[in-house]
Chains A and B, each alone.
Chain A
Amino acid sequence: MKLYDGGKILIGLMVFVGIATFPFYYNIGKVDTKPELKTDTPAIQAWEKQYGKKECVESKEYMRSEHMQLLNNWRDSVVRDMNRQYVSMTSGKKFNMSLQNGCLNCHSNKKQFCDQCHNYMAVKPYCFDCHIQPMEKEENKS
């Protein structure tokens, strides 16, 4: 098979293959940093001691996919309606709607909790544009 203007076509093909297979070679040699979430903060351990199990305001699966929506609703509820009480759909327990005093009270290890998935997925939530980041102990950073 003879190619006419073969040189130009081959350059084009190389560009095409280079772009089309980009994900296959880009990651070579990069460490696969799968997120590892730690839920063993003192507050969570204390909760486990008191109630006999680890639990969040809603089920794990729900929190995994809907936490951003939940937080958004909380913000609207607190800021617009001055309503700080949240009743869990799963357990019926009552919770204080608050990021810093609620969520981050238990999950005081932002680097080993929030950031794990957010960094993995390159998601940059704007929570901490306004809220103060939790102070983390040095040992958590390792």
Chain B
Amino acid sequence: MKAIISFIAVLILAAIAYVGVDVLNMQYMFGVVIPYLAVAIFVIFMIVRILRWGSSPNPFRIPTTCGQQKSFPWIKHSRLENPSGVLGVMGRMALEVLFFRSLFRNLKTQLRDDSQLTYGEAKWLWAAGLAFHWSFLIILVRHLRFFTQQVPAAVQLVEMLDSFLQIGIPLLYMTDVVLLGAVTYLFLRRIAIPQMRYLSLMNDYFPLFLIFGIGLSGVLMRYFIKTDIVSVKMLTMSLVGFSPSIPQNPLGVIFYIHLFLICTLFAYFPFSKLVHMAGVFMSPTRVLANTSRVKRHINPWNYPVHVHTYAEYEDDFRDKMKNAGLPVEKE
């Protein structure tokens, strides 16, 4: 049900773009105003979100550790599993962000013969997640050819490698296939596994459908319902040059649908779970070095406690104590 509502929501978004451009002729709205708004919302609210996270103190070191802490020189220190400094954390984060190391450890637990608990490999989520994220990154980089005059050589190289197989015309991008396949898998996983279906929310399904819609509209535009790509670049270049103008040759409505779905993604990004893009760098269990013992960490919300020491107590009551025959430390 949640999946169906999410699916309908994406359909409605596509329909809004279709009606807005094809019926109401609001090219400027969908081609200029909304993209600018979406990018502004994305950048500003990502910053707001990060600053808000940054303003909450993390008084204690709480990294998840799965290796030997730095100790005596003759005890082997596990630098990546239990980093003791910036370098270790950077190595750990690089492996986490680029290769999803912690997800690689994903296990499947099962009761065998109703009595024996067994653990098995469960790499599919890791594989599909990795495929999805890398494809998305490559697709994003590839799209820079629409946003740069004299396209950087690195972007051209990525594109060349992506279309390396030279299948069909226009050349098939491998990442297009991988992205749609991976998103489909990630969706089916939520539907097919009962526990996952129970856990899944609207805001799990919606981004999946949205990204699938973006991928599908992009694939349609590149291989099937083609649009005037040179005019598309004229529009995008006018946008990044802050002199927006809708090109004279009409752009296909499929382009506006693609663009509107992307704008939705951008605007939705900082408020959704997708913000894990920034969050992964802000999660204390990952980015903190394990310095619990090396350094003293003071809780910043410790309020000043009024302390009455024994010396002060004695000062207050010395005479009375002496009279009562009690021993005092200072005469």
Q: Which residues of A contact B (CB under 8 A)?
A: 1-6, 9, 12-13, 16-17, 20-24, 26-27, 30-35, 61, 64-66, 68-69, 71-72, 117, 120-122, 124, 126
Contact A4 B56 (CB under 8 A): yes
Kindly list 11 other residue pairs between chains A and B, CB separation below 8 angstroms, not including A4-B54, A22-B147, A126-B166. Answer: A3-B51, A5-B54, A5-B58, A9-B50, A26-B152, A30-B149, A31-B149, A32-B237, A120-B230, A122-B155, A124-B156
Of all chain B residues, the one with the shortest Cβ separation from A25 is B240
Complex Cα gap A23–B147 (Å): 6
Of all chain B residues, the one with the shortest Cβ separation from A30 is B149
Asked if B55 is at the interface of the complex by the 8 Å CB criterion, the answer is yes
Q: Which residues of B contact A (CB under 8 A)?
A: 39, 42-43, 46-47, 50-51, 54-58, 144-145, 147-152, 155-156, 159-160, 166, 168-170, 226-230, 233-234, 237, 240-242, 278, 281-282, 300
Of all chain A residues, the one with the shortest Cβ separation from B166 is A126
Contact A23 B148 (CB under 8 A): yes
Contacts of B151 in A (CB 8 A): 122
Contacts of A126 in B (CB 8 A): 166
Complex Cα gap A29–B247 (Å): 22
11 residue pairs A–B, Cβ–Cβ below 8 Å: A4-B57, A16-B46, A16-B47, A23-B147, A23-B240, A24-B240, A26-B148, A33-B149, A66-B226, A72-B169, A121-B145
Complex Cα gap A30–B152 (Å): 12
Contact A27 B169 (CB under 8 A): no
Interface of A is mostly: helix
Contact B278 A65 (CB under 8 A): no
Of all chain A residues, the one with the shortest Cβ separation from B281 is A12
Contacts of B144 in A (CB 8 A): 22-23
B9 CB, nearest partner CB in chain A, Å: 26
Contact B51 A1 (CB under 8 A): yes
B296 CB, nearest partner CB in chain A, Å: 16
Complex Cα gap A68–B222 (Å): 12
